[in-house]
Amino acid sequence: MKPNHIFAAALIAFSAGAFAQSTAAQPSHAAGAAASAMTSGEVRKVDNAAGKITIRHEELKNLHMPAMTMAFRAADPKFLDQVKEGDKVNFVAERVNGELTVTKIEAAN
């Protein structure tokens, strides 16, 4: 094999690797879109001091979590004023820095 053939082979291998990486990135992009789907729930408690909202929630598919009642950190302190105990809500929960966090919340109609 002449040196320029070795270079060509290395270039092809590199391109194939780069292609594999770009296609592998697509499933996670799709998962990101699914994560923004709203889940319904009912506010059980608003803890201003802790910055947490307890929600009785339906299944959270993006977090692989069945329906339950649990406390979430509020991504934005405004959320604590936007909802109160007993409110029916639609929300998005995501794992942010290892903490289950409400990243979007709105009153359910």
Q: Which residues bind Cu ion (CB under 5 A)?
A: 65, 68, 70
Nearer to Cu ion, 38 or 65 (CB): 65
Minimum gap (Å) between residue 7 Cβ and Cu ion:
55
Token duo for residue 90: 């639609």
- For 52, residues 6+ apart whose C-beta sits below 8 A from its C-beta are 46, 71, 72, 73, 74
Measured from each CB, the residue nearest to Cu ion is: 70
Minimum gap (Å) between residue 31 Cβ and Cu ion:
19
Minimum gap (Å) between residue 65 Cβ and Cu ion:
4
Task: Supply angle C-alpha 6, 9, 15, rounded to 5.
Answer: 140
